[in-house]
Structure 1
Amino acid sequence: MDFSYSDKVKMLQEKLTSFMEEHVYPNERLFEEQLNGQENRWAQVPPIMEELKEKAKKEGLWNLFLPESEYGAGLTNIEYAPLCEIMGRSIIGPEVFNCNAPDTGNMEVLARYGTEEQKRMWLAPLLKGEIRSCFSMTEPDVASSDATNIEASITREGDEYVINGRKWWSSGAGDPRCKIAIVMGKSNPHAPKHEQQSMILVPLDTDGVKIERLLPVFGYDHAPHGHAEITFHHVKVPKENMIWGEGKGFAIAQGRLGPGRIHHCMRLIGTAERALEQLCKRVQNRVAFGKRLAEQGVVHEWIANSRVEIEQARLLTLKAAYMMDTVGNKEAKTEIAMIKVVAPTMALNVIDRAIQALGAAGVSDDFTLAANWANARTLRLADGPDEVHKAQIAKLELRKYRD
């Protein structure tokens, strides 16, 4: 495995790093100020975000995901990994470059499985950053880590499908730019277990779609993005809105979540790097009990452990990306599962040490650590909890030793 970066990737790394330092980091606080200065935090996107997006487009730092696709930058997963890491150093970073979840996953679904009309209607404006989308799979009444539990119904009636059900944690649905949802539901309860589900496109302004509430995460509402609980009451959409075909929902979910999982891990490595950077800078000039924190043995241990854990996670991420590129997502499922377990825990450990080093400042809004910790903690659940991935890893490992 060769993890050296091509000249193209090195150039993009330099451009991204410069852009982050010149435009993104200095405007993180302005983003929050503009957001909080509005009467309704959900009604309008802070103007600075659209300004940054236009700058990123002009710099050619746009749609860097979608490996080997006519719609993206033509990068492989292993080429995209170090770039995604740089974007992940800021909570607002991924959106600036149109590389933010859940839009990336939804664009991948449309690019891979969508009809030409679906691509024209929804993929094209998503790629331009003109609209946003949400992904409605998780339900409050069932254990949604097992996607076959999904109970929302998708029923064919003539030339339409009728959707009924309740979803929650539909990330992005609070955004005023969110126009379309990909909804997963059960279209045939009598089919084989993994062919009962379908995915369908539902415009959010369709009659019967109602956002019931927006759910905070550890007290963060993530406005104007948000995580919505949505009810679908006798919602009718044209039959042409079905993605790929009836009974393909579970297969689409597996295809969608593989790249999404590794993108989260790439971003978490960037988050952890920034946390370690904040730790190291802070301990240089803080004095306690007669010497700088940087001279305290326990702080040395925090720094050393953090560097070791970050490097381990990065190498496993690169291996998973390499395998996705060379043998395909299906063959790389063990590595994808492993990094999805490792990366969030690693990031939580590093961020926690940085918070400890900064003391009370670490849990404040003056630094990015508290918000990043909350985000990293959710990623031990999002796209499948740790326990599901560990069970898969164990099963695949045991399979090697069967007679």
Structure 2
Amino acid sequence: MNDLISTKKELEKVVLVAVRTPEVSEQEVNEYLDELAFLAETAGAEPVKRFVQSLPLPDKRYFVGSGKLEEIIEYVKVHEDVNAIIFDDELTPSQLRNLEHAFKRRILDRTNLILDIFARRARTAHAKTQVELAQYQYLLPRLTRMWTHLERQRGGIGMRGPGEKEIETDRRIIRDKISKLKSDLKKIDRQMATQRKNRGKLVRVALVGYTNVGKSTLMNTLSKSEVFAENKLFATLDTTVRKVVVGNLPFLLADTVGFIRKLPHHLVESFKSTLDEVREADILLHVVDISHPGFEKQIEIVNQTLHEIDDREKPMVMVFNKVDAFSYTEKEEDDLSPVKQENYSLEDLKKSWMAKDTKSIFISAREKTNFEEFRELLYREVVKIHVTRFPFNDFLYPDIEVE
């Protein structure tokens, strides 16, 4: 399948649009747009303007109301170098069609943007097949609009998707492709399941967490390997498994794809085999970027996604990473306003629910801050499971209590 790749050297300029519903605070919508901007930059674009409208629900025709629509149209008319408008939600086929007609520009939604990044990041045949399946499933209900759009304007973000020299408009052909990709994935899934069985009884530990929290850096530090790590969203898609030895204890460590708010359901379904590493893990290391202003919301999203993947209870350690980048604003003594999250010091956070309700540790994977304490905690958690599988070795770990 031919990728439609832009030959432009300079970054595409894009406008970001969000609707703030009553249950979303102003701070939250700003954080959501910050994340959308980061997604756009990861995809190779430059966000130049943001528009936010408060509505009870997104408008059924244009996502935003008529007044805000005219405001954005006027901005795009004045700034002719704007290439695309990106919306922070999944748009319906009719909304996409109406917006494209109104703007005469490329229209992308959050799902399309994430799919584009996944397409850019896919390296192995497995990841490419998974992404291609998710793309076709997304495109099928939008088929008429998308193919005519691809024919008119090739290249650019959101266009790194399935396409042929002669644009296909036959839904049956697309469904056949989806069927074949599903069949291919089943074969790959069986191969990967066999690989997992061949790993034996070694304890399995999986790194999970929001995207870009430092899982790959932690993997590299623990396993002394060179897993690709970059300060961009979804830097790696393929699950990497390494045999790690801490002290005298070997176990398997898996680095999984990062989660994100509103992760497209097409991706969750097509990446099922990748997520099996999470399902089959004995211990989860939930890595959190403690320096991110919205880290508590990210914890909530990851926990919700984990529950959807596997609702079985299993041991979890909260690993609060990037303490080297953590900062806070100290309140003045005469300031009587309520204490906000940005006013909590690292010591305050260590005494909060995060340290009391679950096993937790605060580290910097990059700077190796508190890393020996982390290794000791991980060692003790792995031993608890290891001695149940290899009881003849329990004399090696006399100080560990098996629950």
TM-score (normalised: structure 2): 0.25
Larger Rg: 2
